[in-house]
Structure 1
Amino acid sequence: MEKVGFGVIGAGIWGTVHARVYAEDPRVRLVAICDIDRKKAKEVADKFGAESYYTDFQELVDNPDITAVSVATPDFAHFQPAMAAINKGKHLLIEKPIATRVEEAAKILEEAKKTKIKLMVDFHNRWNPCFLKIKSSIEKGEVGEVSLIYLRLSNPSVVPLSWFSWSGKSSVAWFLGSHTVDLARWLLKDEAKKVYCVSRSKLLRGKGVNTPDFFESIIEFEKGAVVVMENAWILPETEPNIVDFKCQVIGSKGSMCADLSHHRALEKYTEEKAEYPDLFALNEIYGKLTGFAFHSIEHFIDCVIEDKEPISTGKDGLEVTKIICAMEESILSGNPVRIR
């Protein structure tokens, strides 16, 4: 079978993950990497054997050898490269969030439908074995009717302060909250109707990054369930993990709890630090990639090559953007906001 050409726009931490998956899949030809930083684009292209690299995403999508594109640019910078890819008829995998404005998310979805491309948003926790177990138990009725879900996904302050130069142009709601909002919709098979959110902006602003410290959200869903969601970017840098990820689902017949960060299945102690190594997201077993963060990208390859519909769609991306925009509106008004 002839290999299918893929390209990656954005050569940062997660764009590198996309490039690695494409490079190691025997069905795929990694054609090109693009990043505004020429050095970074070349380094990733060289590392994974891409045929070329660019600093202008238009050049990448103009390449006739490329059939499908990943957009892994910063949260606020998805719209333009996504539209460029769609306009050239490229199948498209966009890192979450699909966009940080409802109008942009809706436009991406509208144009993707017109051109009949595959459009997927990389909500990779839909491949997380813990959440798949929870979803299966809910659907089997084992916990009864779900009335309350608590979700917490947070980072130490080193992430906004040191990892990215663009933290002030985004927020923890977009960076992490997009995951938890999508999980709530997916687990409940329901749409949000109202959200109330509070936030504070002190610690990070005091250190020169103009973004909120945290978002505390209460989301009401159409069928009656309530989701309490916590996303913070101010955990102490002495945290043993780069994420703090917890979930509790409470139903009329039972409950389920997940600790994806402090699970203690494996503990590591050195002279420098203590940590609980990742066992779920990004791992390698005898040279083979394994983990839910790899598997979601592999699913996109399947969708392109086997003409399948993505598990996480552009419509899912749009609904998540609507909810987070409502969270931001609630913070500004101090009132609950209905999801439009």
Structure 2
Amino acid sequence: MKNKKVSLGLIGAGRAGMIHARNFRAAVPHAVLTAVADPCRDNVQAALEELEIEKGYEDYRELLEDEEIDAVIIVTPTKYHCEIAVAAAKAGKHILCEKPMAMTVEECEIMEAAAKEYHVKLQVAFMRRFDRAFTEAKNVVDAGEIGDVVMVRSNTRGPSIPKPWMYDIRKSNGPLAEVNSHDIDTLRWFTGSEFKTVYAMGGNYRCPDAKQDFPDFYDNVILAAGFANGMQGMIDGAQGVLYGYDARVEILGTKGCIFLGKTQERPITVCRSDMRSYEAFTNSWKFLFKDAYLEEDMDFVDCILTDREPKVTGHDGKMAVKVVNAGNLSVSTGQIITL
């Protein structure tokens, strides 16, 4: 299989979709991007022109009928993931699915079952597991250099105001899904354990337009967790913070601590005559995890060619969705939820 090229089709040509598309088009060995599908014709046309490919569809089903395509990347709103993934599996296409994996645990299980039945790979796009700093930190933890892990704290805060469709928690699963899925997976990865208890609080502080029709919407959330192995976890998430894109992690052990997170887009600090210093805060996840996206895409192709299990599986995606659902239940009821 070493000399084989994996032919890929992109389903969803938005911001994240095009990151994957550019990687597969020009930077991933043994991969070729051959088609794009998106319900918006303008998105399809723009993608075809930028990527210099010819096959574009407004219906993803037409892309799945293309026998040349070996695998698909699903980068659509979460509520469509299950439907598309099952159809892709039936068509014999391997699947790289962006997070969140699905809306419910039941949908995740349907996706897992379809991938197993039709013998295709199912990888969930938690790209932080492929980030060089994150993987180095995992090696440090596994080597016992900070002793036993006691607590993992992770935050993701984005500068953008949520899209209006995100206001309906029933359709988006809220910021815990859209923003904090990566943090949930980070806690699972570094603790090596599953969430046991979850307590979450949310509030709407920056989105006044949502308050009348969607009183349950929150743009700020904090979540405290207990793990099956006795470790502790904390997550905070926010949308519309304006100051930049902020993703940081602390891993506290019995003999030390690891700090993860790059906040500067340019490694430069300017000191001015008014005795104030200035640093440019990074404003986009697209910059911060650019290399991690590429490593993730390369690994997806490699797992197809070598016929091995993906490093991030459907089970990983499902467990994150389980915590999202429990967190939202905790936000709405004010109760501690036991998973």
TM-score, normalised to structure 2, is 0.88
Q: Give the counterpart letter for 1:71 in structure 2.
A: I
Contact map agreement 1:282 1:294 (CA 8 A) in 2: no
2:231 corresponds to 1:225: yes
The aligned counterpart of 2:104 is 101
The aligned counterpart of 1:256 is 258
Aligned ranges 1:2-151 → 2 under 5 Å: 2-24=4-26, 25-151=28-154
Contact map agreement 2:125 2:312 (CA 8 A) in 1: yes
Q: What do residues 249-294 of structure 1 show as CA deviations (whole Å, max 9, x unaligned)?
A: 111111111232248734589xxx96245899648xxxxx961122
| Secondary structure, aligned partner of 2:252 | strand
Structure 1 residue 137 displacement after superposition: 1.2
**Larger CA deviation: 254-263 vs 51-60:** 254-263
Contact map agreement 2:126 2:185 (CA 8 A) in 1: yes
Structure 1 residue 297 displacement after superposition: 1.2
Q: Give the counterpart letter for 1:97 in structure 2.
A: P
Structure 1 residues 32 and 180, CA gap change in structure 2 (3 angstroms) = same
* Counterpart Cα distance in 1 of 2:49 and 2:117: 35
Contact map agreement 1:30 1:51 (CA 8 A) in 2: no
2:280 corresponds to 1:275: yes
The aligned counterpart of 2:246 is 244
Structure 1 residues 26 and 142, CA gap change in structure 2 (3 angstroms) = closer
Structure 1 residues 263 and 146, CA gap change in structure 2 (3 angstroms) = farther
Aligned length: 323
Structure 1 residues 299 and 267, CA gap change in structure 2 (3 angstroms) = farther
| Secondary structure, aligned partner of 2:134 | helix
Structure 1 residues 263 and 38, CA gap change in structure 2 (3 angstroms) = closer
**Larger CA deviation: 139-148 vs 167-176:** 167-176
**Larger CA deviation: 302-311 vs 36-45:** 302-311
Structure 1 residue 200 displacement after superposition: 1.1
Q: Give the counterpart letter for 2:239 in structure 1.
A: W
State the Cα RMSD in Å: 2.4
Structure 1 residue 328 displacement after superposition: 0.6
| 4+ long deviations beyond 4 Å | 207-210, 277-283
Aligned ranges 1:174-185 → 2 under 5 Å: 174-185=177-188
User: Which structure 2 residue ranges, 5 or more long, are not aligned?
Assistant: 272-277
* Counterpart Cα distance in 1 of 2:161 and 2:129: 23
The aligned counterpart of 2:200 is 197
Q: What do residues 216-248 of structure 1 show as CA deviations (whole Å, max 9, x unaligned)?
A: 10111111111110011131x2x1x3x111211
Q: What do residues 174-205 of structure 1 show as CA deviations (whole Å, max 9, x unaligned)?
A: 11210000011111111111101111135314
User: Which structure 1 residue ranges, 5 or more long, are not aligned?
Assistant: 284-288
| Secondary structure, aligned partner of 1:326 | helix
| Secondary structure, aligned partner of 2:250 | strand
Structure 1 residues 74 and 290, CA gap change in structure 2 (3 angstroms) = closer
* Counterpart Cα distance in 1 of 2:206 and 2:161: 13
